[in-house]
């Protein structure tokens, strides 16, 4: 990780794009295991990992951090997506399960450009009453996130939040807007880099598509990052010298820094690329973000 601290080192700021959905009750972990694409059964209590919810056709509805507090308490920290709509959709699959699903308006997420006080890697820090802590550090530097009471949450800082989103994209975490939901498989978004899905666990929506793609080696597209001179819009075409090669799935900007994540063929000729008529430069994705 870089030795130089971030200019906002240690300062807490609100992350307004992050919402919390809680699953609580006797069957919380079992329900999560049956619905989400990563293996909740093998995740230890007080640990978290990246996960997501898929359509039956294996397209990603939402990507999130899944926190397993216990067998009876599973929390989803969901960036950008409509948490209320996701919670209502999940309730349709509860049936006889003993689980209560809710969007927690009394809790908010705040970020810091600093190493966490207690959390390390996939191990949660803090406690439910005084703020749960996640380690969001990667090769780009130290970051920590806390889930705290809304009443005492840190103030908003749009510039810091924009830099946070850039860091997410730089590490290969696609911050999908609504227009890109239900469009892409986990492999097309290269989510194996984050260990965000399982091909060995039991059934879940979209599991057959994910497993077939993995075991038959049919993933032909993956994610790449591009630096641009101007802001980029999700959905924009990425063009080669003579044809469109793919499209942008997520983008973020901070001042004059603009970054886009796009899904492109894994095998493509070495050629100049452009988005929206502007030349772009491919940049490597940073590591250290898998949990």
Average pLDDT score over the chain: 94
Confidence of residue 10 (pLDDT cuts 50, 70, 90): confident
Distance CA 49, CA 38 (A): 8
Residue 1: the pLDDT is 44
Residue 144: the pLDDT is 98
Is pLDDT larger for residue 54 or for residue 131? 54
Query: Could you tell me where the DSSP H helices lie in 73-157?
Result: 83-91
Q: Taking the CB of residue 276, how many other CB atoms lie within 10 A of it?
A: 16
The domains found in the chain, sorted by start residue, are 12-158 (3.30.1360.120), 178-283 (2.40.30.160)
DSSP H helix total and E strand total for the chain: 4, 16
């Amino acid at each position: 990780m870089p030795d130089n601290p971030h200019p906002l080192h240690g300062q807490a700021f609100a992350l307004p794009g992050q919402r919390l959905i809680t699953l609580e009750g006797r069957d919380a972990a079992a329900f999560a295991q049956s619905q989400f694409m990563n293996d909740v059964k093998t995740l230890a209590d007080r640990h978290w990992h990246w996960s997501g919810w898929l359509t039956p056709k294996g397209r990603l509805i939402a990507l999130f951090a899944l926190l397993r507090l216990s067998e009876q308490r599973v929390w989803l920290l969901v960036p950008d997506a409509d948490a209320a709509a996701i919670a209502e959709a999940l309730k349709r699959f509860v049936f006889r399960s003993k689980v209560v699903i809710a969007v927690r308006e009394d809790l908010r997420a705040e970020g810091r450009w600093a190493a966490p006080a207690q959390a390390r890697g996939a191990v949660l820090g803090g406690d439910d009453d005084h703020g749960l802590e996640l380690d969001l550090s990667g090769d780009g530097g130290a970051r920590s996130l806390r889930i705290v009471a809304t009443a005492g949450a840190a103030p908003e800082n749009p510039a810091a939040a924009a830099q946070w989103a850039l860091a997410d994209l730089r590490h290969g975490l696609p911050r999908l807007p609504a227009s890109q939901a239900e469009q892409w498989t986990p492999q097309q978004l290269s989510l194996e880099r984050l260990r965000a899905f399982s091909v060995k666990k039991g059934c879940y929506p979209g599991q057959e598509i994910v497993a077939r793609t993995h075991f038959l080696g049919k993933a032909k597209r993956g994610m790449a990052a591009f630096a641009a001179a101007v802001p980029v819009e999700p959905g924009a075409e990425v063009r080669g010298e003579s044809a469109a090669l793919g499209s942008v799935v997520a983008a973020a900007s901070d001042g004059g820094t603009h970054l886009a994540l796009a899904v492109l063929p894994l095998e493509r000729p070495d050629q100049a690329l452009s988005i929206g008529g502007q030349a772009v430069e491919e940049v490597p994705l940073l590591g250290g973000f898998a949990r």
